[in-house]
Structure 1
Amino acid sequence: MKPRPSASVPRVLAALGLSLLLLAACKKHGPEELAGAASGPAAAVRQLATHLQRNDLVGFARDAVPPDLHDRLDTAWRAGHSRWPLSELPLEDKLVPMLAALSAKDAEKTLQRSFDRQFARQDRDLKEAARTLGLFGVQYVKNEGDYTQEERDHYAQVIAALGDWAQQAPLGDPALARTTLARLAPAARRSGLTTEQDLSEAGMTASLQRLTPFFIEAKATFSRYGLPLDTTFTDLRTGLVEEKGDTATVRIHYPLGEREIDTVVSLTRRGDRWYLTDYLKHAEDVLAALPPPDVPAPAPSEPETPPSP
């Protein structure tokens, strides 16, 4: 007679299946949160990353500084004295020339020919250049430039990660370059921002709105080359290290290429909100460097009436 299976076996199998389903569901929730993730300072940093993940450049600028500072920066932008928050980007002074080049007539063909002459299938040279630039960049931010210690530690990790990515990315692929130009050039043209005057006339908020489609295509380009920045923003985790009065230190951990960036940032409380201290300093430095407003000439004084005899 064949042995009768125990009645408990189906229950065990059901429990095992349920456990596997729960494990799979847990994995979908993303990386584990850091200690202190629910704190105000940690949430403020995560909010900025969420804006970038959602392509909300206007929201990023709004929440990165206090409202009064934001309004003054917008005024300075219109006068051509500020490009914050674009000035937080690497090589921000190259943005307008890049938009102009991509917006030019037949830019796709012209830039593709230039790429084919200089970079097509030069993978070995491009990877060596990336390695050299990465090493130089890490040493530079560690020892030179006007950076806080937190910025030096953070930027050194970012540059090293980007160097690793660039050595693996298909930078010399002509077909990929053609696809990239075919997407970036129309996005640049739609922005209508090809000169500093265009930016000033549009103002900060409208400029950021018009740059959003280009930002989306830029992120898509990095993804095609093996650097999914949306994953970086989505999987960014924050945790509170210390909060003391109106200052706080927050730990940030996020993936970038094949590396995990782990750093700390300082925050400052203004009113009931927390802001990255470096962003505040950079914005205030921009405003402090503004030329003084024109002082109106004093009105001519009335001639004195001679006393009556």
Structure 2
Amino acid sequence: MAYSSRIRSRSRSGRRSALPVVMLFLLIAGMAAARFLLDRQPALTTSAGLTVVQGEATVLRADGDQPLTVRPGRSVALGVGDEIQTAADSRAKITFAADETTELGPDTRLGILELQQNPASRALVATLALYEGQTMTRIRHMLFQGTRFQIETRVATAIAQGTIFQCDVVTRDHTYVAVYDGVVTLSMGEQTVQLQAGQAADARLGHQIAVIGVPNPEPTAIGDSEEPASTTPMPSPVGVDLGIFPPIVTPTRPGERGEEYVVQPGDTLYSISRRFGVSWEAIWEANRPVLEDPENLLPGQRLYIPEPE
């Protein structure tokens, strides 16, 4: 009798110990199923608002309507494909759905490439193209995943999640990024670094990304800080990986694609790929008979630019 009681006791104990495992399995399976269903939902469209703090800004609509001039005291809605140009001595601010903001300095031209919300968390998903000028972005820290905010320039891409960071186009071939809070991933071609709060980076075509220290505390307004004239590079916290930075597809003049291009002084395969919206690998593959080394471009050399896939 005592032996049978022990057997029954062990059986009940085994069932009780297995119960948490089963519950955990069911919970994980339920979360995976919910995530699968949410991923199949279309992204939610959203909009942003533009206000001018000082001076004036011009909005070029994606639908080709007449340019709209915006002055202080007026707010206009922005959508995908719209482009904003601030005048000299002017400042403006873009406010997104969850109070994330991007401030624009004088003589800044910015385009909206992507603007939506994650269907699961309602987190902001935005991609901006910075053609010239200065920006300061403030993104709140999110408890839920799904936030993605990035700024693309002709040189590099800055991707942030819950951070305060500055992104400036210094010259056509030079982008400067400074991080005051959070983390920003900066990519240029095959190079990728992660910038922590208090770090900045110079991204110049044809050079390694230089990670430096932020010279000043957070500016109170965009344009208060200046790019340091001389800085000492610090070791990158991540270094270089093999992630390929996708080119921004920009409008080209008729006849540029599928024809020859004459290499100009200072050109690289990467800068040429950004201009035509074709990956540098595709250009290299199309010109391997005359270009064995992708780093060995010569001014005056003729390259065939293939059609984008």
| Same fold per superposition (TM over 0.5) | no
Which has more helix, going by share of residues?
Answer: 1
Higher relative contact order (CA 8 A, sep 6+): 1
Which has more strand, going by share of residues?
Answer: 2
TM-score by length of 2: 0.24
Larger Rg: 1
